Amino acid sequence: MVPPFTNDLIHETSPYLLQHAHQPVAWRPWGEAALAAALQLDRPILLSIGYAACHWCHVMAHESFADAETARFMNDHFICIKVDREERPDLDQLYQTALQLLTGRAGGWPLTLFLTPAGAPFFGGTYFPPADRHGLPAFRRVLAGVARHYREQRGEAAADGGRVVAALAEMEAASPPGRVGAPLVAGAVEEIAAQVDPVHGGVGGAPKFPQTACLTLLLRAGGRARALALLTLDAMAAGGIYDHVGGGFARYSTDELWLVPHFEKMLYDNGLLAALYLEAYQVTGKRAYARVVEETLRYLQRNLYRDGGGFYASQDADSEGVEGRYYVWSRAQIDALLGSEAELFCRAYGVSQAGNWEGQNILHLARSTAALAAETGVAPPALDELLARGRARCLAAREQRPAPSTDTKVIMSWNGMAISACARAALCLDLDWALAMATASADFLWEASWRAGRLHRTWTDGAARHDGVLDDYAYLGAALLDLYEATGEGRFLARGATLGEAIVDRFFAGDGSGFYLTAEDDDRLIHRPRARHDQSIPSGAAAACALLLRLAVFTDNARLQEAAEQTLAHHAGAMAAQPVAYAGLLACVEPVLDPPVEITLVGDPSARRAWVRRLAQLHLPHRGVCHLPCDPPVAGAIAAGKEAQGGGVTCYLCRHTTCTPPMRRWEELERALAGG
């Protein structure tokens, strides 16, 4: 059957944009053609930004964009542009910030913004319902009011847009004074710790997001801060935000208990959280953290990994048009699946007849194995086996349900996070399948998206699209360096160094004031956005600084270290004033104050691999591991003068430009790292 409507989005590759390609709205993708049409027809732009896994984006699409009468008014009075925020984070960041300046409120998705033909925003909001409700005006009433305002008070609309553009430039140029040093980090850790819920964990109250940068900073600080980070990780892993059946984390919890998730699953959350739980395992040796890591990576393998390498972006919150339907259970369903073992399973995972969410049950760890064993007299090993059988049966049954849709974009930065988690966990937990995924993905991404000295941001159905932003270069560069340290294969180091040098050349401000989100020659926007504070992920500036500081020992390019240090110095005041927002950059201060440990392994690759696997068991967040021989050769100080001393592996350990004598046995390195 031929759809009754088709608009210009039909030529796009984004699954989100294609969801809107057969709506009666005359949607256009962002680009020169749409912007030129706005100028030529002298119409304001209606800019709608969302993403495929966004529940309220689906709601507004169904209620308003699919309505023929609403669409007719939109088409008659506006140039309607639809943007996938995951493809264009620059546009999303720019216009989300503009909305905050216009309204004084936080943004969100769907973002609904009205622009002058030149692209300056003068009115906006997020979700608008089809009729007045909950204090929100009806979307059609908003459309009529904005169209009338632009027609009758065009000068005022243009002036409002001009003020927003000026405010954007002023806000991003400002940076309070500060000083990089140990007191900066100590004060930030104390302030972040003060905002952690002491009962349930998490920074702040509901809704609760897994703020990985803050938790990483607390975990590395030790003492009470570390205890709060571990409290949070324990609560998240026990809560409904974690998928106890299939592994992996949902986007956030709507409540303070981590029980009720917003059910969409994002690649970036799961890559970052797998790496964080792995670090918690390295710190504590607690096997429960290792299990979360492995189950999360198994989720990625089963649901987001594509044959041939690369990870898809996300899975939707909805299935069959209902949020969370795929993930929840009734007591009757569990009884039918598990029979005589259902009672213990339900007690462990909090399943009841009444349910804990809209009459259904979100599985969560209501009782630990130890507590359940004490209540029932069943031995913990037998309970663990029973619960594992129950989870496996639930997973098999759930996979027969209509599944949430998958956004099949391959995004470079998010893939970098997943590859890093796979590479690190593969060594620490002996997961060869995870290393195979990481290696295949890194090679695929490089071949698919690195073209003529530029990195593309997305790959979908054979097409690489959109210029990469800073995040893409930085997170993929970090993944390549992680793979080099895991495998000793020189191509990964060379590619990572190429991305690091491109970051300094194309994204670093000439006055030393940090990084831009977009490269200097990307298409022109009303304002070139900066990369500074963390958002859903640690900022591109934080990822870039972390990468450049790691790369500095592997190259002879002094600009890498200098760019990172200048960025931290420029943002020191902001880090002190807003530590939660700048936790990613704060985590980069320690390796400046106390440079990373340099470990050089010389010898046969298979013998080196055994040493690297042992190193992976240790908590060494700031380290560089160099493999020699390496092709292409390593140019930095970490390789200078390092030679084999006989067969097997020769190891050199350097701190602050001072190196130990060559070591031949693992125990020698272990003692040296421990300070013995």
Query: What are the pLDDT digits (tens) for 241-292?
Result: 999 999 999 999 999 999 999 999 999 999 999 999 999 999 999 999 999 9
| Alpha carbon separation from 7 to 20, 258, 336 (Å, rounded) | 8, 41, 47
Indicate the residue type of 300.
L
Indicate the residue type of 187.
G
- Measured CA to CA, the distance from residue 326 to residue 319 in angstroms comes to 6
Whether CATH 1.50.10.10 fits 182-319+407-593:
yes
Cβ partners under 8 Å of residue 313, min gap 6? 52, 53, 86, 266, 267, 304, 407, 408, 409, 410, 411, 414
**Contact between residue 606 and residue 649 where contact means Cβ atoms under 8 Å apart:** no
**Contact between residue 115 and residue 45 where contact means Cβ atoms under 8 Å apart:** yes
**Contact between residue 14 and residue 460 where contact means Cβ atoms under 8 Å apart:** yes
Cβ partners under 8 Å of residue 76, min gap 6? none
Strands 658-659 and 649-655: antiparallel
Quick: pLDDT tens for 394-441.
Answer: 999 999 999 999 999 999 999 999 999 999 999 999 999 999 999 999
> What's the pLDDT score for residue 169?
87
Residues in the chain: 676
| Alpha carbon separation from 69 to 23, 44, 126, 132 (Å, rounded) | 12, 19, 21, 17
Half-sphere exposure in the Cβ direction for 339 (13 Å, CA): 4
| H-run or E-run covering 267 | helix 267-284
Phi, psi angle pair for 396, to nearest 5°: -60, -40
Angle between helices 267-284 and 223-238 (to 10 degrees): 130
**Contact between residue 217 and residue 580 where contact means Cβ atoms under 8 Å apart:** no
**Contact between residue 209 and residue 195 where contact means Cβ atoms under 8 Å apart:** no
Average pLDDT for residues 606-635, to the nearest whole number? 95
- Measured CA to CA, the distance from residue 345 to residue 491 in angstroms comes to 48
- Measured CA to CA, the distance from residue 639 to residue 598 in angstroms comes to 10
Phi, psi angle pair for 623, to nearest 5°: -155, 160
Peptide bond into 207 cis (omega under 30): yes
Number of C-beta neighbours around residue 614 at 10 A: 14
Mark 485-524 as b/e (b = at least 16 C-beta within 10 Å): bbbbbbbbbbbbbbbbbbbbebbbbeeebbbbbbbeebee
Share above pLDDT 90 across residues of the chain, in percent, rounded to a whole number? 93
Per the listing, tokens 């530590």 go with 579
Strands 623-628 and 649-655: unpaired
**Contact between residue 490 and residue 479 where contact means Cβ atoms under 8 Å apart:** no
Half-sphere exposure in the Cβ direction for 356 (13 Å, CA): 22
- Measured CA to CA, the distance from residue 112 to residue 47 in angstroms comes to 6
Quick: pLDDT tens for 542-588.
Answer: 999 999 999 999 998 999 999 999 999 999 999 999 999 999 999 99
Average pLDDT for residues 294-312, to the nearest whole number? 98
Ranges of CATH 3.40.30.10 domains, the chain? 8-173
Quick: pLDDT tens for 156-193.
Answer: 999 999 999 999 988 877 778 899 999 999 999 999 99
Of 614, 611, 646, the closest CA to residue 626 belongs to: 611
Quick: pLDDT tens for 11-41.
Answer: 999 999 999 999 999 999 999 999 999 999 9
> What's the pLDDT score for residue 54?
87
- Measured CA to CA, the distance from residue 605 to residue 412 in angstroms comes to 29
Quick: pLDDT tens for 455-506.
Answer: 999 999 999 999 999 999 999 999 999 999 999 999 999 999 999 999 999 9
| Alpha carbon separation from 638 to 481, 537, 600, 603, 627 (Å, rounded) | 14, 31, 7, 15, 10
pLDDT exceeds cutoff 80 at 524: no
Of 278, 274, 254, the closest CA to residue 264 belongs to: 254
User: Following CA atoms 39, 40, 46, 47 in sequence, which dihedral angle do they give, to the nearest 10 degrees?
Assistant: -60
Average pLDDT for residues 615-639, to the nearest whole number? 95
pLDDT exceeds cutoff 60 at 676: no
Indicate the residue type of 621.
P
> What is the pTM assigned to this prediction?
0.96
> What's the pLDDT score for residue 223?
98
CATH number of this structure's domain 8-173: 3.40.30.10
β-bridge mates for residue 653, sequence order: 599
Question: Three-state DSSP class for 503?
Answer: helix
Ranges of CATH 1.50.10.10 domains, the chain? 182-319+407-593
Token output for 215: 């938790």
Burial of 170 (0-12, 13-18, 19+ CB in 10 A): exposed
Q: What is the CA radius of gyration of the chain?
A: 26
- Give the model's confidence band at 200: pLDDT under 50 very low, under 70 low, under 90 confident, else very high: very high
Phi, psi angle pair for 533, to nearest 5°: -90, 160
> What's the pLDDT score for residue 480?
98
